[in-house]
C-alpha cells in the first residue's frame, strides 16, 4: 500500500485591496500631518494633541502647538519638541518613540513618481506609477511580491510624492509616507505601515491640502 502523498505549499500573505482614490476621503483612526504649508481654523483643534513625530532618524513623543506665521494670519501646526519634523501622527497608537532605520530613496524626477510608468527605487523595492485607461495604479515591488497600493479610474492630473521611507514600526520591513491624490488641486498625506509579512497597509491619512 502506497503512503499518502502530502503536498506542502508555502503560505502566501493575503493582500489588502488597494486604496481607491475615487472614494476619498478614506476613513482612518489616525491622522498624519506635516509642520509646513497652509492651515486654517479647522487645524486649531490640533493644539495640544499628543503626537509621535519623526525628527531626523528618531520618533519622538510630543504635543502640537498652532501659531500664526505672518500678518495674513496663516497658521502652522508643529510638534513642540521638533518644529521641523518630517511628519507627525496623532490618533491610534501606530508608532512608538525610538530610533528608526531610514531608507535611501533614489528618485527619477524630484520626488514625483513619474506618470510614464518609470520607477522610483527605494531601499528594498520600487514604487511604480502606471497609467491604466483614464486612471493609474501605484504598486510597491520587492523580492517578496508586487502589491497595488493605490488606484484610480479617473486621473485629474493627480500625483504621488514620496516623503519618507523607513522601518517606522521596527518590524524589519520598509514603511512609506507619501502624498497621493487623483486630483491636482488636493493631496492626501498617507502613512503605509508593513505587517509581519511585509505587506503594506494604509494606517493614517491627513486632510487634503492644496489650492
The grid cell for 117 is: 510608468
Q: In this predicted structure, what is the pLDDT of residue 126?
A: 84
Tens of each residue's pLDDT in the chain, 211 residues: 555 656 555 555 688 898 888 886 665 668 888 876 554 445 555 667 888 999 999 999 998 887 776 656 666 778 888 888 999 998 767 788 999 998 877 665 544 444 444 556 666 788 888 888 899 899 998 888 899 999 999 888 877 888 888 999 999 888 999 888 888 777 788 999 999 898 999 998 887 665 5
Non-local CB neighbours of 132 within 8 Å, separated by 6+ positions: 151, 153
Q: How far apart are CA 143 and CA 159, in angstroms?
A: 26
Q: How many CB atoms lie within 10 A of CB 207?
A: 15
Sign of the Cα torsion 182, 184, 185, 186 reads positive
pTM: 0.82
> Which of 65, 115, 111, 109 shows the shortest CA–CA distance to 85?
65
Place of cell 503605509: 192
Q: In this predicted structure, what is the pLDDT of residue 199?
A: 93
Q: In this predicted structure, what is the pLDDT of residue 79?
A: 84
Give the start-to-end residue ranges of the domains of the chain. 22-205
Q: In this predicted structure, what is the pLDDT of residue 61?
A: 92
Sign of the Cα torsion 169, 94, 210, 79 reads negative
C-alpha to C-alpha distances, 2 to 6, 7, 209, nearest whole angstrom: 12, 15, 67
Amino acid at each position: 500500500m502506497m503512503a499518502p502523498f502530502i503536498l506542502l505549499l508555502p503560505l502566501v500573505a493575503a493582500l489588502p485591496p488597494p486604496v481607491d482614490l475615487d472614494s476619498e476621503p478614506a476613513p482612518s483612526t489616525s491622522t498624519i500631518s506635516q509642520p509646513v504649508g497652509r492651515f486654517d481654523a479647522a487645524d486649531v483643534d490640533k493644539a495640544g494633541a499628543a503626537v509621535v513625530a519623526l525628527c531626523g532618524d528618531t520618533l519622538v513623543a510630543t504635543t502640537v502647538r498652532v501659531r500664526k506665521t505672518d500678518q495674513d494670519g496663516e497658521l502652522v501646526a508643529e510638534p513642540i519638541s521638533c518644529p521641523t519634523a518630517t511628519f507627525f501622527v496623532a490618533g491610534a497608537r501606530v508608532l512608538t518613540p525610538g530610533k528608526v532605520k531610514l531608507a535611501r530613496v533614489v528618485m527619477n524626477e524630484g520626488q514625483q513618481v513619474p506618470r510614464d510608468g518609470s520607477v522610483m527605487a527605494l531601499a528594498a523595492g520600487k514604487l511604480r506609477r502606471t497609467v491604466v485607461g483614464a486612471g493609474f495604479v501605484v504598486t510597491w515591488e520587492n523580492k517578496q511580491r508586487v502589491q497595488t497600493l493605490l488606484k484610480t479610474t479617473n486621473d485629474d492630473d493627480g500625483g504621488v510624492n514620496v516623503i519618507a521611507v523607513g522601518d517606522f514600526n521596527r518590524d524589519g520591513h520598509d514603511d512609506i509616507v507619501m502624498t497621493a491624490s487623483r486630483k491636482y488641486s488636493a493631496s492626501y498625506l498617507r502613512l503605509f505601515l508593513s505587517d509581519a509579512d511585509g505587506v503594506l497597509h494604509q494606517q493614517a491619512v491627513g486632510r487634503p491640502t492644496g489650492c
